[in-house]
Amino acid sequence: MTPEIKLKAKQAFADSFLFYLKAHYYHWNVEGRHFSQDHKFFGDIYEDVQDSLDKFAEEIRTLGTYAPGVFDRFMDLSQIEQKSAIPSAEEMHMELIKDNEKVLSSLNALFDMLENNHLHGFGDFIAGRIDAHNKHQWMLKSTLK
């Protein structure tokens, strides 16, 4: 397997993991008039992404490389920024929209590499994740309207 595919897979995994972590963080800490709806909504997002992480790591292992598993490595590989401040509920939605775009970008780039190298099983998994993140994007944007 090419080093480029391995690296792109790790980057997409790190983006997904840090997106999951941020959605979970927001689920715990959201406040405001729409608390119940936002709390559940962020919970639905983080649960979906969390449910995909083990399979994602196993697919990386099938490439003959190791899946990242420590926070420093996730931070090195990912485009997703972490902040300790608790934003408003509206800012949480906007942050997740921005970060989900980054996840989609890395997933799409990985998908193209996998398909070009005839790694259709892993590509099928990534296609499913792209569909899931497209739905998250639609729902996040719709919530802010």
CA-based R_g, the chain, Å:
15
Percentage of the chain surpassing pLDDT 70?
100
Catalogue all structural domains in the chain, each as residue range(s) with its CATH number: 3-144 (1.20.1260.10)
HEC secondary structure over 56-125: HHHHHHHCCCCCCCCHHHHHHHCCCCCCCCCCCHHHHHHHHHHHHHHHHHHHHHHHHHHHHCCCHHHHHH
Q: Is the per-residue pLDDT at 145 higher than 90?
A: no
pLDDT reading at 55 higher than 90: yes
pLDDT digits (tens, 9 = 90+) for 104-126: 999 999 999 999 999 999 999 99
The end-to-end CA distance of the chain, in Å, is: 44
Q: Cα 143 to chain center, whole Å?
A: 19
pTM, two decimal places: 0.96
pLDDT digits 0-9 by tens, 8-38: 999 999 999 999 999 999 999 999 999 999 9
Q: Which two tokens stand for residue 84?
A: 């300790």
Structure tokens that stand for 73 in this block: 């490595």
Which pLDDT band, with edges at 50, 70 and 90, does 58 fall under?
very high
CA distance 111 to 78: 17
Residue 1 has pLDDT above 80, yes or no: no
Model pLDDT, residue 121: 97
| pLDDT tens for each residue of 59-102 | 999 999 999 999 999 999 999 999 889 999 999 999 999 999 99
Q: What is the mean pLDDT of residues 120-144?
A: 97
pLDDT band at 144 (very low <50, low <70, confident <90, very high): confident
